[in-house]
Amino acid sequence: MPPAGSRRRGRRARRIVISLVVLLALLVGADFGLAAFAEHTVSQKAREQLKLTDDPSVTIHGFPFTTQAIGGDYSHISLSASGVPIKDLQDVGVTADLYDVTAPLSDLVNGNTDAIDIGRLQAQVTIKASDINKVDPLTKVEDLRIEPSSIAYVQTGQDAESGTDNGSNGDQQGQDGTSAEDQGQDHSKAGIRISGYVQIAGQRLEIFCFAMIELHGTQIDIVPKRLQYGNDKETTVVPEAVQQALLPNFKATIDTGSLPFEVTPTAVQVNSGSVTIKGEAKNVRFSGAASSTGG
């Protein structure tokens, strides 16, 4: 049986360890609580500035949060929101990554996000096909759908492997079999396939429009190049005379206004069902988010 003194020292050591564990748990809990409060504050301000119905998602990266808050310097804050109204668009998705952020703790606690300075910011705005379908003259296209298409395929209509004009089968690759990104293309433009139903001579036909989507400042221009009709498995090129009459129905300009956080657009990307504009900014204020929305 151990001596009484040893038992007392053992109990004391266990109490110290337990106390340290409890203290650490309290500190970690307090750190997460403070981070959650700061994220909620930023989220509420972003909701006001972006004119949203719900709070956007805000995450302050890095642990512990408390040391960042005391110094007022944050390496990375991310924000994402959906349903953002920009100009005539009503359901835009916005994602932003904020780096080298300066925000005094006192301002965060008091909800003063105007003092938040952002050293570097990367953002993207995603426009759904349903919003694009509301832009004239694309309103004439029923059940409008969007898919990416290589620039080479849009311009030539030739399948990369077979060299034939067979609709959607070859539109994901360039003529050399490489992706558009691998070809080092100009990221201010991309190939797009727009499909939907239109009325032609009293008949409802499914039309596939292969077009270029080009970024000009804060505007996106859709420039149609070629029309085909049929279905996803097999299509036929629309006769030239009919193409000239129908192509204007697919020519449109989408004005995104001033993008969030004073971002300068640098690239456009076509996804399945949407179009994304990407951009960057340096040395901006969090209050710049307000400039993204239309009046």
What pLDDT, on a 0 to 100 scale, did the predictor assign at position 221? 92
Q: What is the mean pLDDT of the chain?
A: 76
Condensed to tens digits (0 to 9), the pLDDT of residues 193-245 reads 999 988 777 778 888 999 999 998 888 899 999 888 775 556 677 778 778 88
- Residue that wins the pLDDT comparison between 177 and 143: 143
How far is Cα 29 from Cα 42, in angstroms, rounded to an integer? 20
Which alpha helices (H) appear in the chain, and where do they start and end? Answer: 4-50, 65-71, 105-109, 129-132, 151-156, 240-246
What pLDDT, on a 0 to 100 scale, did the predictor assign at position 289? 63
How far is Cα 152 from Cα 171, in angstroms, rounded to an integer? 8
3-state secondary structure of 228: strand
Beta carbons of 291 and 258 less than 8 angstroms apart: yes
Say yes or no to pLDDT of 183 above 70. no
Say yes or no to pLDDT of 161 above 50. no
How far is Cα 194 from Cα 99, in angstroms, rounded to an integer? 36
Q: Find where tokens 């009325």 sit.
A: 199
How far is Cα 210 from Cα 229, in angstroms, rounded to an integer? 11
Residues ≥6 apart with Cβ < 8 Å to 22: none
How far is Cα 258 from Cα 90, in angstroms, rounded to an integer? 15
User: Which of 81-95, 160-174, 215-229, 277-291 holds the top average pLDDT?
Assistant: 215-229
Residues ≥6 apart with Cβ < 8 Å to 28: 64
Whether the model pTM is above 0.85: no
What pLDDT, on a 0 to 100 scale, did the predictor assign at position 276? 92
Condensed to tens digits (0 to 9), the pLDDT of residues 17-54 reads 665 666 555 555 565 667 777 777 778 777 887 778 78
Task: Report CA-CA distances (Å) from 272 to 112, 150, 183, 193.
Answer: 39, 13, 20, 10
Peptide bond into 104 cis (omega under 30): no
Closest by CA to 247, choosing from 226, 229, 222, is 226
Which two tokens mark 234?
């097999």
Condensed to tens digits (0 to 9), the pLDDT of residues 69-86 reads 888 888 898 989 888 887
Q: HSE-up of 263 (CA within 13 Å, CB side)?
A: 29
3-state secondary structure of 190: strand
Condensed to tens digits (0 to 9), the pLDDT of residues 81-121 reads 888 887 778 888 888 899 998 888 777 767 677 778 889 98
What pLDDT, on a 0 to 100 scale, did the predictor assign at position 171? 46
Burial of 287 from C-beta contacts in 10 A (0-12 / 13-18 / 19+) = middle
Beta carbons of 76 and 98 less than 8 angstroms apart: yes
Burial of 193 from C-beta contacts in 10 A (0-12 / 13-18 / 19+) = buried
- Residue that wins the pLDDT comparison between 58 and 15: 58
